[in-house]
Amino acid sequence: MAMTEFIAAIELSSTKISGIAGKKNEDGTMQVLAFSKADATSYMKKGVVYNLDKTAQAITAIVKDLEQMLNSKIAKVYVGIAGQSIHTIKNVINRTLKERQLITQELVDSVCDENIDIPNNDMTILEVAPQEFRIGNDYQLDPVGVASDHLEGQFMNVVCRDTVKRSLVHSFEKADIEIADLLVAPLAAARLLVPESDRRSGCIFVDFGAETTTIAIFKNDLLRFLTVIPLGSHNITKDLTSLKIEESRAEYLKLRVGDLNYKESDDDVVETFFLDEEKTREVPLIKINDIIKARAEEIIANVWNQIQVSGYHDKLLAGMIITGGGSNLNGLIDLIKHITHIERVKIGNPTIEIAHSKLIKELKEKEANNSLNTILGLLAAGDMNCAKIDKVVEGTLFEGEEMIKKQEKTPEEIKEELRLQQQKKEEEEKIRQEKLKEQKLREEEEEKKRKKKNKKSWTSSLIKKFEEVQKNIFNENDEIKND
């Protein structure tokens, strides 16, 4: 059965392009209906489109896969944009008013428009994260209605290089796929994984990707800082290939053998691991873990440096929430705590319940933990129906068949059919006129009642006034007698 209502989204990351389709249920859960992915290591670099043609081909193939699973055509998709150049720029707009007056919505809108219109060299604004407005020494989320002679708007603009956005958009144009909305992928993931209470208290959201690591900081439920560093878990994989092994084997060592808490035993026994299936080459486990730990420490140190640069390192009561394929490293949480001294560090889990299904079970078995959170965030952020709805043509649905039927009728039958149609129209018109007549009579009757009621009300009022006058006269007479 064809699906007629669903949300579709596509995520472009450093190593793969993923597509998903699903819907939001009335009970608040989210259901995944279709999923497809393609390797993108040859045409994506650090989350940025490198080869437009190959990217367009992959997008087309993924959309076709989704359509086949849905048994329905896709009209448009939500697209996540990420990559190395994405970061926040704080901007302040000041307005001095001629006199003290109430702040209007028009004034607030004009300040917001001025923020967007400010040129940012070769950067383009992807999203404006709402911040406070300063009036005097007070900060207001909504200043409308407050009296002041000065308004200061503070904005956190999420930007990226203009060429990055254009390359992404052009790849979808080449694939002839309409973009429903361009979403900042790490923010979509954060909104899915970080509870509102943590965003209010203040927290760090870190997405450990393959070639990049994204840091987003929230305080008072507002985005305060966002940046991307050009290091990821794939750097660890490449480091392990120095052991003269294939990347696939290095990936296995990283996730299955590596342990950031590993310590060499005190005795003389040296634990080793075979690098090949034939078990002809072996290496000490301590060497494998030293390689993994060295790069992991570098990534975490860079993350901590950016947190300090933000100025919020000592204001984040909810600690750190991590996600991404790199978050699956054994012992990563302990290493983060050791380097940053952040006490609360946890793996992010969706705040929206994902309805259990056979597809979800298969995805959990095939995909690495936490690797689907970003595309699920894009799905959760969508609110438009992405299904292609064929336009309903007025008139006969099967026009050809109807014409044949008409051709098979005799002139007498056609004449009788027209007569019946005319008769039906006349009867419908007669009924309509009768209803109009009845409605007019009701309105006239209601008008009479209304006039009668008003007249009665006026008469009662006049009598009441007369009684009051008469009462006053009697009171005056009584006073004269008393005198």
Q: What is the pLDDT of residues 135-171, one digit of tens each?
A: 988 888 899 999 999 999 999 999 999 999 999 999 9
Nearest alpha-carbon partner for 19 in 364, 368, 378: 378
The CATH class for the domain spanning 197-347 reads alpha beta
What are 29-68's pLDDT values in tens digits? 999 999 999 999 889 998 899 999 999 999 999 999 999 9
3-state DSSP percent of the chain in helix, strand and coil, to 5: 45, 25, 30
Q: With contact defined as beta carbons under 8 Å apart, do 328 and 288 qualify?
A: no
Task: Give the bridge partners for 94, in sequence order.
Answer: 152
pLDDT value of residue 381: 96
Q: With contact defined as beta carbons under 8 Å apart, do 297 and 335 qualify?
A: yes
Q: What is the mean pLDDT of the chain?
A: 87
Q: With contact defined as beta carbons under 8 Å apart, do 133 and 222 qualify?
A: no
pLDDT at 261 over 90: yes
**Phi then psi dihedrals of residue 418, to 5 deg:** -65, -40
What are 271-310's pLDDT values in tens digits? 888 888 778 888 999 999 999 999 999 999 999 999 999 9
Residues 6+ positions from 230 with CB-CB distance below 8 Å: 46, 84, 211, 212
Q: Give 118's pLDDT tier (boundaries 50, 70, 90).
A: confident
Q: Give 398's pLDDT tier (boundaries 50, 70, 90).
A: very low
- More confident position, 90 or 483: 90
- More confident position, 266 or 16: 16
Residues 6+ positions from 168 with CB-CB distance below 8 Å: 12, 49, 79, 81, 182
Q: Say how many Å lie between the first and final Cα of the chain, rounded.
A: 101
Share of the chain above pLDDT 90, in %: 64
Name the DSSP class of 280: -
Nearest alpha-carbon partner for 382 in 194, 174, 185: 185
Name the DSSP class of 417: H
What are 195-242's pLDDT values in tens digits? 999 999 999 999 999 999 999 999 999 999 999 999 999 999 999 999
pLDDT value of residue 120: 75
What are 435-446's pLDDT values in tens digits? 778 777 776 776
pLDDT value of residue 204: 98
Q: Give 370's pLDDT tier (boundaries 50, 70, 90).
A: confident
The helix/strand/coil state of 277 is coil
- The structure tokens 């936490």 sit at 370
Sign for the pseudo-dihedral over CA of 448, 451, 456, 457? positive
Segment 92-103 shows an average pLDDT of 91
What are 421-472's pLDDT values in tens digits? 888 888 888 887 887 787 777 767 766 666 555 554 544 554 555 555 556 5
Q: Give 109's pLDDT tier (boundaries 50, 70, 90).
A: very high
Residue 143 CA to residue 111 CA, distance in Å, equals 12
Q: Which residues of 43-74 are buried (b: 16+ CB within 10 A; e: fewer)?
A: bbebbbbebbebbbbbbeebbebbbebbebeb
Nearest alpha-carbon partner for 298 in 241, 230, 251, 225: 230
Residues 6+ positions from 474 with CB-CB distance below 8 Å: none
pLDDT value of residue 423: 84
Residue 33 CA to residue 53 CA, distance in Å, equals 28
User: In angstroms, what CA-CA distances link 87 with 157, 294, 307?
Assistant: 8, 26, 13
Residues 6+ positions from 297 with CB-CB distance below 8 Å: 335, 339
Residues 6+ positions from 111 with CB-CB distance below 8 Å: 93, 95, 133, 151, 153
Segment 324-346 shows an average pLDDT of 96
Instruction: Give the E-state strand segments of 141-284 in sequence order.
Output: 147-161, 178-184, 203-208, 213-219, 222-229, 272-274, 282-284
How many CB atoms sit inside 10 A of residue 346's CB? 13
The helix/strand/coil state of 443 is helix
pTM greater than 0.85 (yes/no):
no
pLDDT value of residue 11: 97
